[in-house]
Amino acid sequence: MRDVIRQLPGSKIREVANAGLGRSDVLAFWFGEGDEATPDFIREAAVASLARGETFYSHNLGLPELREALAAYVGALHRPVGFDRIAVTSSGVNALMIAMQALTGAGDEVVAVVPVWPNLTAQPAILGAEVKRVSLRPQAGVWRLDLDELLAAVTPRTRVLLINAPNNPTGWTLDRGEQAAILAHCRCTGTWIVADEVYERLYFGAADRGDMPGRSCAPSFLDLAKPDDRVLVAHSFSKSFLMTGWRLGWLVLPAALLDAVGKLIEFNTSCAPVFVQRAGLAAVRGADTLVPGLVEHLRRCRDTLLPALQALHGVEVALPAAGMYAFFRVAGEADSLAFAKRLVTQAGLGLAPGVAFGPEAEGWLRWCYASRDPVRLTQGVERLRDALRL
């Protein structure tokens, strides 16, 4: 076995979940998914596809009708995007891995903004690339980017800049000025931008200002990039469409890369299952009905949990502008893994340890507030309060 594979750390979130295994009384908020099933109209599209016997291979790049629908969906949110810039993948993480395979190899330098979902930094490392980390920094619970530090880290030697914004776990979101500066700099250095924007629709900025546009989303590199810019954007059906278990995603990329990405999909998974793509097509066509209501529900969940956490003595947390996570720390609790395990075993509260997202997040905890019933969030805070009194 290669050393880099042997040295990959196991999931610390799973480690915490295993500590609560078999306990029915645990309130679990550790994984990055809600507790609401995929809507009926999406599931019914998959059932109908199976009933038609659509159990065979499809095009490597995805069903043409799904690619057309995704091009229209992305174009309505951002700038117009052609069919020849869309590749359907078997999940968002598969989209990111294919992007890494297309762009990086042994000895290449990848700069990543951290803390971040660990899969993102593991992927280039698996391929033999050197990952250079530029950390966000917390100020009164708000995680911020030092733009000058990031631009200084990205040089002509940097093959890929990897950015997840809106960010998992911190909720940090790039603003338009930062995106413009990053894009201009990467054009000068010849660096590819791989942007993980799977949380772009789970954005509360407009609602927080009192606006309620039906197609609200976080700032995207697709708002600024030209069709042939060195920008790949990864998306997933998991979060905005309540489809975590379906494993379906897509890439928006320069048309010149499409054939190469098609080859890589062939060598990885051949294609996404047709019945899953039919479900994705129904989701995209129903996005204007589904997504705004989901975002409003998540905003209510956020606005239930965050004030309750802020009221606890010793807790540092800020209101996230996007995503589905509260990221917080408790004074005196420096070992997030040990603390998370203690909360499971002693309080029946399941949270993700910050160290799972890199050493930069040690001492912090992530709480997924995507809950069908916000009362569960209140109950969770009560358990945390009781645990802090012990």
Q: Please state the φ and ψ torsions of residue 87, each to the nearest 5 degrees.
A: -125, 125
Beta-carbon neighbour count of residue 5 at 10 Å? 10
Tokens 């930069």 identify what position?
A: 360
Whole-angstrom distance, CA of residue 75 vs CA of residue 215: 11
Would you say 333 and 312 are in contact if contact means Cβ atoms under 8 Å apart? no
For 67-102, the pLDDT digits (tens) are 999 999 999 999 999 999 999 999 999 999 999 999
In Å, what is the CA distance from 231 to each residue of 109, 196, 224, 257, 328? 16, 11, 10, 11, 32
Distance CA 258, CA 331 (A): 49
All residue ranges of the chain with pLDDT < 50 are 208-214
What pLDDT shows up at residue 215? 56
pLDDT, tens only, 11-45: 999 999 999 888 889 999 999 998 999 999 999 99
Single pTM value for the model:
0.95
* Chain centroid, CA 124 distance in Å: 17
Q: Name the 3-class secondary structure at 161.
A: strand
What is the pLDDT at residue 83? 96
- Rounded mean pLDDT of the chain? 95
- For 24, 49, 155, 316, 340, the CA distances from 94, given in Å and listed in that order, are 32, 23, 27, 34, 29
Identify the structural domains of the chain with CATH numbers, from first to last: 3-38+289-389 (3.90.1150.10), 40-286 (3.40.640.10)
What is the pLDDT at residue 212?
42
Closest CA to 74 of 211, 161, 197: 197
In angstroms, rounded to a whole number, what is the distance separating the alpha carbons of residues 390 and 385?
9
